[in-house]
Structure 1
Amino acid sequence: MVNKNRMNRVAAAMAAAALVSVVLPAATAQAAAAPPRIDLKVLVVDDGGSSVEAITAELRDTGVPFTRVRLGGSGRPVINAAYLSDTVDGRPRARFQGVVLPNENPFGEGSAEMAALTAYETAYGIRQVDAYTWAHPGVGLEYTDNGGYSGRLDGTRAAVTAAGRAGPFGYLGGAVTFEDNSALVPESYGFMGRPRAGYTSYLDAPVGSGRASLVGEYTHDGRSELVVTFGYNQYQQQFRLLARGIVEWLTQGVHLGQERNYFAVHVDDVFAPDARWSKELNCTPGDYACAGGEGRESTIRMTADDARYAAQWQSAKNFKLDLLFNAGAGEEWKAEHGGTDALTAQLVADRAGYRWMNHTYTHPFLGCVQDTTTSPWTCVKNAQGAVQYMSRAEISAQIRDNNNWAAAKGITTDRTELVTGEHSGLKTLPQQPVDNPNLAGALADNGVKWAGSDNSREPDQRAVGAALTVPRHPMNVYYNTGTNAEMADEYNWIYTSRADGGSGLCEDNPATSTCLPAPVDPVTGYLDHIVPQEARTALRHVLANDPRPHYVHQSNLAEDRTLYPVLDQVLDTYRTLYAPSAPIVNQSMKDTGVELGRRAAWDKALAENKVTAYRIGTTVTVKAPSGVDAPVTAPTGTRKQLLLGTTDFGTAYAGTRSTWTSPELLQSAVTLRLPG
């Protein structure tokens, strides 16, 4: 079979070369007459596989324009010379700056479409990514039986080579370990081959006494392919680490779109106590619907020692927490405990070390008036059958009083930011399918422009009057637990079957939840099972260009301080994976709101085909609709054209320069001057 494949691929290469020899001279002569225009868009040829889908997701999520051609689609365009290039204003134009293919030739042996692509790439210097192929000489590698390997890659410790660090993967720390989340499930399969002439390995791994390649550049016949010889999906960490470099290599470092690794953590309910889970009742006394909980209430609240630890941890980790505070709840607690509060005194003393955010004065429910005599609760209605809501004046007072308390304590807040308790006031399905109609007005009364929402319920940004939501990721570190043992107990109740002593909720909702094969150990389960799992989930968000903040509660900084093992694992792992040139971006909620708004406007402009962007030689031109900022990434040394002179373009990140940009005064387009 191998010999037959070799013969077929040699024949295909000869056929393609013959066709190139017919097409290429004319294209080359045309391109030589004037520097060609190369449009900043990627062509994706999609076979429906997970590897192409992963690269497509990277392009989409970072704002890189692309055209997708589905191989199995009826009526798909034919990829020929006319589809790939034309002439604009007398200048030859390459319509795509890069090509993503499922493999080195997805069209079949002797295909005219592959021959057209080959001629196009050669004529215009366009690069090609082979999303997933096998190790063989046709892609510059020896067969796996000559010092290579094929099979499962779970747990493989690969490494970026010196060429990879000097090239497209210089933002990485060096190690790329393939996920191995379960010994029972095969997660990765691939091929490792030894390089032949013309192949430069960027990622390799040990095989026997040597090393063999998993990702590399194959330069041949006047063109370049990035060869990937393992399968992957868009969520696996090994792909997420390499995704940025794949795009940078494909586009030669000049493209629309930009990428950052974001991580922010909101600590809700600061100053307020949180109710405690009951192991005996399997519910939370003091909260809604805990049968038998009356008189058995217990709360969790940070101490001054916990506050001092938080400040020390921040300094040691070089990472800032966002404290979302309920000053009135703190004042109530102080009045009930002798009129003193060492926690508040300590946090106020350390106030400059944190970002502070308004979480309302006493943390009430800001939506409809709740009838909690029923299960589930319902919205109270008046005699006319209309839902009763908290008033605009009451909501406004909750926002205003909290801000005023902070100002009196010398705490700096951004009054345009607000997260309501339980995200209340916003629609709460199924009981309250619309926002409290009084919420938007109260936000406007207090100058609130950014309102936190729950990403698990509303992942998209939306308007609430003149304000915009900022979705937040809930972390699976429960608000009603202060110890590792309480975390493990509640986790087992939620995620184990009735036969194993759990609630069976995971059995009732198989589409959204999976039951554990057995309960986690009540003593060690939190650190051994839950922490690694939650850290992986959070790190996946960090590596996916997702700016949405995560949220936890002050109870997680108290007692056993359950949050820190998760954050330590996220931050420590990240800093071993990435070079210092790609630090975590720890930004405010307002900045995240601005980012999400820019992305929505950009995606809309792309969908409506209202963006024009191209490169001619060392000049890049970008035109977008008025009021729409464009995300652009370019090499270090790029300058932005002003009306008179130039200025440095963008900010440095991961070895490139990038930013959201718009035309300068009296200009109709963004013009960039690339380094020579």
Structure 2
Amino acid sequence: MKRTRGTIALAVGALIAALGLPATTAHADTTTPRIDLRVLVVSDGGPATDAIAAELETAGTPYTEVDLLRSDRPVIDGDFLADTADGTPRGRFQAVVLPNDNPFPADSTEMAALVDYEQAFAVPQVDAYTYARPEAGLQYPVYGGYSGSLDGVRAQVTPAGRAGPFGYLDGAVPFEDNSPTVGESYAYLSTPVAGADFTPYVDAAIPGQSARGSLVGEYRHDGRRELVVTFVYNQYQQQFRLLARGIVEWMTGGVHLGASHNYFAVHVDDVFAGDDRWDTELNCTPGDVDCPQGEGTPDPIRMTPADVDHATAWQDRQDFTLDLAYNGAGSVDHRQDNNGADPLADRFIAERAQFRWINHTYSHPFLGCEQDTTVVPWRCATNADGSTKWVGRNTISDEIATNRVWGQTNALPLENGELVTGEHSGLQVLPQQSADNPNLAPALADNGITWLGSDNSREPQQRQVGPATTVPRYPMNVFYNAGRAAEQVDEYNWIYTGRAQGGSGICEDHPDTSTCLPAPLDTATGYADHIVPLETRIGLGHVLANDPKPHFIHQSNLAEDRIAYPVLDGILDGYAGLFADSTPVVNLRQKDIGAELKRRAAWKAAVAAGQVTAHRVGDTVTVEAPAGVAVPATMPTGTSRAGSGFGSAYAGGLSGWTTSAGTPLTFDLPASATPPAATEESPGQSSATRSAPRTRVPAGVREPVPYTPEPADR
């Protein structure tokens, strides 16, 4: 028997009566309940519930976490889950996430309260990682199923999954296999219990059989809906990142605060300049500060007109736009040395509309302290009294202004408020410079700079520098001083091998902070076989994590062997093979990335301070937030606000930001947004009575493999 809206209301009335609330709710059978837009996450400290909580946190979706391991945690009972608001029955949570189908002791009153609540308010439950058993709508794995590793397995979204919450995917869900010696996944593959109302959304082949077993599926029973997940994961693994959006969309019915998109932007630094080349004999870069003064001969790498043509053709093929951080002096100096000729600049200027452009200062000087390069590593020069010598305000301001004028003279399409200083200089850089150059902020104000690029490996959080807000950028391990693959591998080997192997020893000194190598890579094959796949995986991981921060490389990487393209193609082609056309990569410029990060920070602060409330009554969503705070929301197609369409289409729904004026914001949902009904009865023992068995969590889930921190800007 299907549960109707009327029977839901009657159940709400029964629950409210059980709570002993005032008699004003006596007519609750005719009252549409209010459901707060907040998720309840009940955690046992495992990686699966932590991963779902992290997804909600990143998206800006409010949630309340109850840690079952804490003795001072609240008791989950009727009073905790529901009450009344202005005489209307109120459910405090729109969804419930549990570690498994029943993490409580047998016959637990807390599990019984959750069952009553889910039935009364038609609230769905996610079983973050549970054993396949009849209580979850599945056969025990011993009956023709499978328990074990799925490392390297290619799971698949079923037709029902593509027609439902996972329609933003093309179909494939590859499981990671990053290490041959560490288990990185574990799953229970099984088929539904005979007669159960169970719909698999993601499945995989059961080893040795023609049948496929469910990994993610919906189980409807006893007036409840459960999303049953039978594989373990952490928040970084690709298989979870692919499915995270669908899990949230399923539990919220596509109606929730917060939003998630897949972003990718690439900044190319030092355009028009030349980048000094790594010396494979000296293991340093002549002309730069990592080589002792006078050692080696500088051999700069600089793009050619053919490289510009390749870049424009690549952009057309990938439907992607690069951001070029340029140094005008690079062209001026080249013309002075070549009788006024600079074919590279001429070609770039002719194709200027094909790219986005960022001021990277005129001559790329170091704009922090004055550097003493008589020692390696360099140090800050000091005055007689021991104080730091700083590059002056006028010098910084002139570098910004002169480069802007050069760009405007050549009609580059600039955003004058954007800036990336050479090497992110002027900002603090440890260990040599522990504070910003005090002259930086005034110089930024002199030039109206509002968005300042920073190095995410040093400062992952946005901050204010005078009038500017930083935009952290991910450095890619495609080195600025390498134009050829063999040079890149040689330097990579030197950095990431031990001293006995001729390396820098950084892995021995800091074993937890490097992508260490057990042995040097082959310079002929190491780039394609090791570095490209690893950098692709890291970059694609950022794309799938709702992370808008840009990545940066250098113009040298688009020259000679054009070593950046295999990584960029790996990310974009890999993405295209996983996602439907409704879910494109979002490619923003620096100022828009900065604004997105800044809005998110303000929103999360308001949520954390308890200044945001939101609820749904029938087909109307109401949100209250402080004036001036932009509210992110995700709604179904057809949603309107104030009589107009809401948001932009993405991943099969609508999402966008709406700035609060301090008065309630209302959203009108389409009638199709009503959650589906659950069945009243289904075979199998009630999960409210028997707690779930323990499940296996391999080492590679507890600690992501391999450990791949962001490289520093070198």
Quote the residue 2:618 is aligned against: 617
Q: Distance in 2 between matches of 1:401 and 1:515?
A: 42
Instruction: Indicate conservation of the 8 Å contact 2:293/2:373, yes or no.
Output: no
Give a deviation string over 1:251-296, Cα, whole Å, max 9, x none.
1110000000000000000000000001111111111131486352
> Are positions 1:255 and 2:250 aligned together?
no
What corresponds to 1:106 in structure 2? 103
In structure 1, what is the equivalent of residue 198 of structure 2? 199
Determine the C-alpha separation between the residues in 2 that align with 1:33 and 1:487.
70
What stretches of structure 1 move > 4 A for 4+ residues in a row? 19-31
The answer on whether the counterparts of 1:31 and 1:123 sit within 8 Å (CA) in structure 2 is no
Structure 1: distance between partners of 2:13 and 2:109: 13
Match of 2:391 in 1: 390
Does the 8 Å CA contact 2:380/2:388 hold for their aligned counterparts? yes
3-state SS in 1 of match to 2:415: coil
Output the CA distance in 2 between the equivalents of 1:96 and 1:493. 53
Matched position secondary structure for 2:400: helix
Bigger drift between 559-568 and 654-663 goes to 654-663
Is 1:656 aligned with 2:653?
Answer: yes
Q: Is the 1:507–1:514 contact (alpha carbons within 8 Å) kept by the matching residues of 2?
A: no
Instruction: Provide the C-alpha distance between the structure 2 equivalents of 1:279 and 1:240, rounded to a whole number of angstroms.
Output: 39
Per the alignment, residue 16 of structure 1 pairs with: none
Q: Where in structure 2 are the equivalents of 1:407-426 lying within 5 Å? A: 407-426=408-427
Residue 434 of structure 2 is matched in structure 1 by: 433
The 3-state SS of whatever aligns with 1:414 is: strand
Deviations 1:135-167 (A, max 9, x none): 111101112122321100001111100110011
In structure 1, the residue matched to 2:8 is: none
Q: Which amino acid aligns with 1:217?
A: E
Structure 1 pair 588/22, CA: closer, same or farther in 2 (3 Å)? closer
Aligned to 1:279: 280
Which string of whole-angstrom CA distances, capped at 9 and with x for unpartnered residues, describes residues 197-234 of structure 1?
21100001112112111000000000101000001000
Q: Distance in 2 between matches of 1:498 and 1:426?
A: 32
1:509-528 alignment, distance < 5 Å: 509-528=510-529
2:7 — aligned with what? none
Q: Does 2:340 align with 1:343? A: no
SS at match of 2:366: coil
Query: How has the CA–CA distance of structure 1 residues 400 and 544 changed in structure 2, closer, same or farther, with 3 Å as cutoff?
Result: same
Kept in 2, the 8 Å contact 1:35–1:617? The answer is: yes
| C-alpha contact (below 8 Å) 1:39/1:614 kept by paired residues | yes
Deviations 1:537-565 (A, max 9, x none): 00000000000000000000000000000
**Which of 168, 171, 175 is residue 171 of structure 1 equivalent to?**
168
- TM-score after normalising by structure 1: 0.94
Query: 1:80–1:113: 8 Å Cα contact kept in structure 2?
Result: yes
TM-score, length-scaled by structure 2 = 0.89
CA RMSD of aligned residues (A): 1.7
Deviation, 1:36, is 0.9
CA distance in 2, matches of 1:21, 1:675: 26
Can you list the C-alpha shifts for 1:460-502, whole angstroms capped at 9, x where unaligned? Answer: 0000011100000000000000101111111111111223232
Task: Look up the SS of the partner of 2:396 in the other structure.
Answer: helix
Instruction: Say which SS state the counterpart of residue 299 (structure 1) adopts.
Output: coil
Identity of aligned residues (%): 60
Q: Please report how far the alpha carbon of residue 61 of structure 1 lies from its aligned counterpart in structure 2 after TM superposition.
A: 0.5
Partner of 1:669: 664
Report how far residue 21 of structure 1 moved.
Answer: 13
1:295 to 1:210, Cα distance in 2 relative to 1, 3 A: closer
Q: In structure 1, how many angstroms separate the alpha carbons of the residues matched to 2:101 and 2:221?
A: 13
Q: Partners of 2:588 and 2:487 in 1: how far apart? A: 31
Q: Which moved more, 1:233-242 or 1:20-29?
A: 20-29
The answer on whether the counterparts of 2:12 and 2:89 sit within 8 Å (CA) in structure 1 is no
String of CA shifts for 1:362-389, please: whole Å, max 9, x gaps: 0001111111113332222223333221
The alpha-carbon deviation at position 311 of structure 1 amounts to: 0.8
- Map residues 14-413 of structure 1 onto 2, 5 A cutoff: 31-196=28-193, 197-207=196-206, 208-291=209-292, 294-413=295-414
Deviation of 1:520 after TM superposition, in Å, equals: 1.2
Displacement of 1:454 after TM fit?
Answer: 0.2
- 8 A contact 1:36–1:94 mirrored in 2: yes
* Conserved 8 A contact 1:20-1:119: no
Could you list the per-position Cα deviations for residues 324-362 of structure 1 after superposition, in whole angstroms to 9, with x for gaps in the alignment? 000012211232234311111110110000000000000
Cα distance in 2 for partners of 1:289, 1:655 equals: 50
Q: State the SS of the aligned residue for 1:73.
A: coil
Q: Shift of residue 56 of structure 1?
A: 0.5
For 2:597, what is the secondary structure of its paired residue?
helix
In the alignment, is the contact (CA less than 8 A) between 2:291 and 2:376 conserved in 1? no
Q: Relative CO higher for 1 or 2, CA cutoff 8 Å, sep ≥ 6? A: 2
Asked whether the equivalents of residues 30 and 92 of structure 1 are also in contact (C-alpha less than 8 Å), the reply is: no
- Opposite residue 201 of structure 1, the aligned amino acid is P
Q: Give the CA deviation at 1:430.
A: 1.9
- 329-338 or 431-440: bigger deviation: 329-338
Report if the CA contact (8 A) 2:264-2:586 is conserved. yes
- Residues 1:629 and 2:624 aligned together: no
Matched-pair contact (CA < 8 Å) for 2:13–2:28: no
Q: Relative to structure 2, which stretch is displaced further, 587-596 or 498-507?
A: 498-507
- On the 8 A contact 1:288/1:372 being kept in 2, the answer is yes
Structure 2 CA distance for partners of 1:550 and 1:30, relative to 1, 3 Å: farther
Question: Which ranges of structure 2 fall in alignment gaps of 5 or more residues?
Answer: 1-10, 20-24, 672-714
- Distance in 1 between the 2:335 and 2:455 partners? 30
> How far, CA to CA, are the matches of 2:27 and 2:421 in structure 1?
62
Asked if 2 retains the 8 angstrom alpha-carbon contact of 1:364 and 1:421, the reply is yes
CA contact (8 A) 2:429 2:435 kept: yes
Amino acid aligned to 2:664? A
Q: Distance in 2 between matches of 1:31 and 1:540?
A: 47
Distance of 1:283 and 1:235 partners within structure 2: 34
Q: State the Cα distance separating 1:441 from its structure 2 match.
A: 1.1
Query: What amino acid maps onto 2:474 in structure 1?
Result: H
Q: Which amino acid aligns with 1:336?
A: D
Count of paired positions: 652
